[in-house]
Amino acid sequence: MGVSETRTDNTDNTLAGISFSVTPIGNLTYDWDTSTNKNTMSETIAGTIAGTMSRHGFNAGTSGYDVEDHLVN
């Protein structure tokens, strides 16, 4: 069996998270601001996965976007 992916959305249709099952490899969680700019992305890793998925994350901070919604931080 391969990996099965389940995506969950927020009420404004932004991505809330991605979970992997059958052969669990980890989960991704997202947070968005009111302009639908991604503020954070975090992950949890199952088992001993290394490489591309290892400790990947994103945090724009409180001043991550300028007034034109460009990522600056």
Q: pLDDT digit string (tens) for 39-72?
A: 887 777 665 444 554 555 667 777 778 888 887 7
The ranges assigned to domains in the chain are 4-59
The whole-number pLDDT of residue 6 equals 87
Mean per-residue pLDDT, 9-26: 80
The whole-number pLDDT of residue 71 equals 78
> Distance of CA 42 to CAs 2, 9, 37, 45, 72, Å?
23, 16, 15, 10, 19
Mean pLDDT value across the chain: 74
Burial of 33 (0-12, 13-18, 19+ CB in 10 A): middle
Query: What distance in Å separates the CA atoms of residue 39 and residue 36, rounded to the nearest whole number?
Result: 9
Under 8 Å between Cβ of 73 and 64: yes
